[in-house]
Each structure stands twice: as C-alpha cells, then as structure tokens.
Amino acid sequence: MELYFDLNYPKNLADALKLLHNLDETQEISIQRTMQIDNIDKENSIVFLVDSAKKGLDIPIVKHFEDGYKVIAFKMKSSNSLDLFRLTLMTLSLWPKILQAISNETTPFVYTFTYAGTKITKMR
C-alpha cells in the first residue's frame, strides 16, 4: 500500500511513520511526501490532504474522490493557521484507527479528522 502525504503535512511526520513501519515486517506500506499524485495506482494508494473548507469538503478533495482516489483529509478551521505540532500529534494518535479504516476499504473514500483527534469520520 502506498501512502502519499501532501506537502502541508510535516516532513518529520512522514519520516516518523516510515521508521515506524520499518519495524512491521508483515505490512508493506510505503510512505511518500509529494504533490505529484497523477500517475499513482489508485486502488493501492491513499492520499493525505488538508481541508480548509468551513462547511463540507474543499473542491480539490471532492475532485480527488470523484477521480477514484482514496483520501484522508485533515479538517482545519480556515480561520486558524496550520499547527504542525498538533497535526503531527493528532495523526500519530489516530494512526491505528486510520490503518484499520483503510484496511477495510476497497472503493474510493474520504475520511476526515480534526485537532480534537478522537476519531476519523467517513464523509463519502
């Protein structure tokens, strides 16, 4: 499985997740931090994006979903600036839930999470 993190996600988060998954010999997960996702295998890939829409989802996230991508989006309030430390903590704390959710999905989806960090929500 390939996980692609938008460049809004901290590089150190992607690096930490790579190190974490290097310990797991049973799962083959590749983690990359990039903006270029045009030529990826949509069935075996998940894209992590940042959503700043006040209501609903940002247009790019909806377009990715409609194009067949599996998306996990960090939902931030558009009035707040992105706090990389909190984003990293929330992503790491939700990582087991994220892995469980994506392992059960075979069709395109959109899951979101927030700074509250207690759950991930399936939007589509």
**Which residue numbers in the chain have pLDDT < 50?**
none
Q: What is the pLDDT of residue 80?
A: 67
pLDDT at 12: 92
Q: Tell me, what's the pLDDT at 5?
A: 93
pTM of the model: 0.86
Q: Which residues of 32-57 are buried (b: 16+ CB within 10 A; e: fewer)?
A: ebeeebeebeeeebbbbbbbbbeeeb
Residue 79 is predicted with a pLDDT of 62
DSSP letter for 67, please: T
Q: What is the reported pLDDT for 17?
A: 92
pLDDT of residue 108: 93
**Residue 48's beta-bridge partner residues?**
5, 72
β-pairing, 70-75 with 45-51? parallel
Domains of the chain, by residue range, sit at 2-122
